[in-house]
């Protein structure tokens, strides 16, 4: 089913609220490399309706797992980049917008292994990588937990739409694990709760390494209370150690597809996902490489970083490399 941002639980900024958010975002953009305490003073100045809606989303245990903030300013954009590692939006006010939302939910973070700890990830097609399963591809991207391999996966991720694709058909795919599990048998759910699965590192974490990508685990795919379960699953990268496990993973994938919703974002829409409740993906689209291709920006937010990890971090907001923490958790 294809839906629009207005169909989901959302908050629509008024024109005056959007102006206020832009002003605060410009200030936050200059401070996005700072400690969260430095940004915290700006959070209380955000429009009350926006702030309350985001905080409510972050505290609702029975929530659907996704929320849309729309009406954000994204004007005066350069051409959509066509290569990796662009610095086109360094210092851009949208950095501040993403920082403010991430810090309302928890704390903006990056991963040392992914894009050298970058806080903001540009999602756009790159010529020659159309078939890549990742930010630079344009083929369908199946449902997955973000950074499924990592013991400190983001609690939340946000994607801000700067530009739609030319045809306006590219959609985010969203599926709640809590909606999917009732479609499985009790035996299947019981199997998914066993720590018998492994998840391959995503390509964004192994960009500069040679040889096969490593696996993390073993880990369960479903965990938590029976009435409030969580999910850790990547249809591309999560594997079982035997045929029976693979069958139950296929059953889960089919159940997730049954409850999946396709969300078409418009410029100025920011969708926020609970990474423990919802898996997400992308439909295919056709890029033109003319400077007006689809362009999203992504952030990660972590509610709390363990003290041991904080003491290993090279930057207050950048989580340590997997080589340093593998085997610790």
Nearest to 219 by CA among 255, 186, 258, 193: 193
Contact 318, 111 (CB under 8 A): yes
E strand intervals along 228-309: 230-231, 238-240, 261-264, 270-274, 278-282, 295-302
* Span of 52-61, 231-240, 247-256 with lowest mean pLDDT: 52-61
How far apart CA 61 and CA 58 sit, in angstroms, is 8
What is the pLDDT averaged over residues 102-121?
95
Nearest Cα to 141, choosing from 211, 237, 231?
237
Compute the distance between CA of residue 46 and CA of residue 223 in angstroms, rounded to an integer: 35
Once rounded to an integer, what is the mean pLDDT over residues 276-289? Answer: 96
Q: Which residues pair with 10 in a beta bridge?
A: 68
CA distances from 91 to 88, 99, 188, 294 (A): 9, 12, 48, 21
**In contact, 271 and 265? CB cutoff 8 Å:** yes
Q: Average pLDDT for residues 176-185, to the nearest whole number? A: 97
For residue 18, which phi and psi values (nearest 5 degrees)?
Answer: -65, -40
Q: How many Cα atoms occupy the beta-carbon half-sphere of 219 within 13 Å?
A: 24
Beta strands in 53-120 (DSSP E): 66-70, 107-111
Task: Give me the residue label for tokens 């097609």.
Answer: 125
Rounded Cα–Cα distance for residues 223 and 200 (Å): 19
Give the closest residue to 102 by CA, choosing from 154, 164, 167: 154
Return the CATH number at 137: 3.60.130.10
Domain total in the chain: 1
- The whole-number pLDDT of residue 6 equals 47
pLDDT at position 63: 73
Place of tokens 């629509």: 12
Look at residue 229 and tell me whether its pLDDT is greater than 50.
yes
pLDDT at 81 over 70: yes
Average pLDDT, the chain: 92
Interatomic CA distance for residues 177 and 33, integer angstroms:
34
- The pLDDT value given to residue 34: 76
Helix axes 15-29, 93-105, angle to 10 degrees: 90
Domain that holds residue 22: 2-325
In which region does residue 209 sit, left (phi positive, over 0), alpha (psi from -120 to 50) or beta (all else)? beta
User: In angstroms, rounded to a whole number, what is the distance separating the alpha carbons of residues 299 and 94?
Assistant: 11
User: Which residues 6+ apart lie within 8 Å of 150 measured at CB?
Assistant: 111, 216, 322
Q: Give the SS3 label for residue 177.
A: helix
Strands 238-240 and 197-200: antiparallel
DSSP state of 133: S
Q: For 236-262, what is the mean pLDDT?
A: 96
In the predicted model, is pLDDT for residue 270 greater than 60? Answer: yes
Question: Exposed (0-12), middle (13-18) or buried (19+): which is 69, by Cβ within 10 Å?
Answer: buried
**C-alpha pair distances (Å), 114 with each of 52, 76, 87, 150:** 31, 28, 16, 11
The confidence score (pLDDT) of residue 3 equals 53
The per-residue pLDDT for 31 is: 85
Query: 15-29 vs 36-43: helix axis angle to the nearest 10?
Result: 160
Tens digit of each residue's pLDDT (9 = 90 or more) over 19-69:
999 999 999 999 877 778 889 999 999 999 999 999 999 987 557 899 999
pTM of the model: 0.94
């Amino acid at each position: 089913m294809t839906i629009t941002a207005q169909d989901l639980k959302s908050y629509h900024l008024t024109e005056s609220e959007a102006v206020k958010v832009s002003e605060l975002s410009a200030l936050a953009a200059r401070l996005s490399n700072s400690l969260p305490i430095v940004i915290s003073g700006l959070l209380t100045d955000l429009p009350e309706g926006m702030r309350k809606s985001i905080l409510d989303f972050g505290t609702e245990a029975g929530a659907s797992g996704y929320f849309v903030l729309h009406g954000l300013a994204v004007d005066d954009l350069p051409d959509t980049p066509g290569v990796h590692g662009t610095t086109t939006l360094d210092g851009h006010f949208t950095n501040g917008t993403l920082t403010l939302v991430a810090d309302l939910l928890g704390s903006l973070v990056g991963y040392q292994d992914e894009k050298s700890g970058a806080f903001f990830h540009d999602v756009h097609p790159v010529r020659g990588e159309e078939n890549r399963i990742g930010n630079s591809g344009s083929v369908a991207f199946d449902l997955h937990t973000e950074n499924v391999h990592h013991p400190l996966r983001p609690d939340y991720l946000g994607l801000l739409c700067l530009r739609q694709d030319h045809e306006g058909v590219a959609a985010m795919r969203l599926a709640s694990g809590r909606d999917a599990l009732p479609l499985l048998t009790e035996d299947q759910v019981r199997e998914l709760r066993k720590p018998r699965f492994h998840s391959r590192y995503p390509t964004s974490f192994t960009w500069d390494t040679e040889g096969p990508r490593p696996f993390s685990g073993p880990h369960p795919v479903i965990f938590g209370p029976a009435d409030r379960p969580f999910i850790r699953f990547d249809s591309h990268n999560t594997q079982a150690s035997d045929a029976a496990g693979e069958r139950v993973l296929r059953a889960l994938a089919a159940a997730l597809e049954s409850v999946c919703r396709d969300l078409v974002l418009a410029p100025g829409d920011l969708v926020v996902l609970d990474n423990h409740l919802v898996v997400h993906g992308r439909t295919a689209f056709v890029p033109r490489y003319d400077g007006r291709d689809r362009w999203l920006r992504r952030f990660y937010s972590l509610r709390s970083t363990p003290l041991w990890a904080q003491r290993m971090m090279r930057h207050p907001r950048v989580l340590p490399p997997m080589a340093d923490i593998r085997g610790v958790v």
